[in-house]
Amino acid sequence: MLALLQRVRQARVEVDGQVVGAIDAGLLVLVCAEPADSPALAEKLVDKLLKLRVFADAAGKMNRSLQDVGGGLLLVSQFTLAADCSSGNRPGFSAAAPPAQGLALYEELLRLARARHPLVQAGRFGADMQVHLVNDGPVTIPLTVR
């Protein structure tokens, strides 16, 4: 699975002008399933997101996790993370999982995250979404879970 996490002071996702998910301080994570991905990889990604130490401790070092700080987690599906721009000027997206598989893995990711963390919000799979965020730091980290 591919993910791009951003430490945020706040973030929200809108669909058709309506907020469908919003958090205060925490992590906004854009996620993309690939054809070889499995529910086990979704679980591995949730583990990493909840435990990754990207929040400052009292000394100002990135030493605290999302669980440590009690922050929100906003998960947004984004197949464009699998873009292939190696030839021509139009990206290809054949490296992304087919929609049915992507939806199933995204729903599993949400189920696992909600079972382990109290503040989980989500975008809407396949929708035209507007994502608003205030990046904190800025801290933006690409993750690949295999």
Catalytic member of 80, 130, 140, 144 = 80
Known active-site residue 79: yes
Copy the structure tokens of residue 22. 């919003």
Residue keyed to tokens 């995204």: 106
* 35-to-53, 102, 107, 111 alpha-carbon distances in Å: 29, 8, 15, 20
Q: Give the C-alpha separation, 128 to 125, whole Å.
A: 9
Element (H, E) at 62: strand 62-64
The one catalytic residue in 6, 55, 78, 121 is 78
Q: How much is the CA Rg of the chain, to the nearest whole Å?
A: 15
- Which residue among the candidates 6, 55, 79, 121 is catalytic per the annotation? 79
**Do the beta carbons of residue 131 and residue 122 sit within 8 Å?**
no
Which residue numbers are catalytic?
78-80
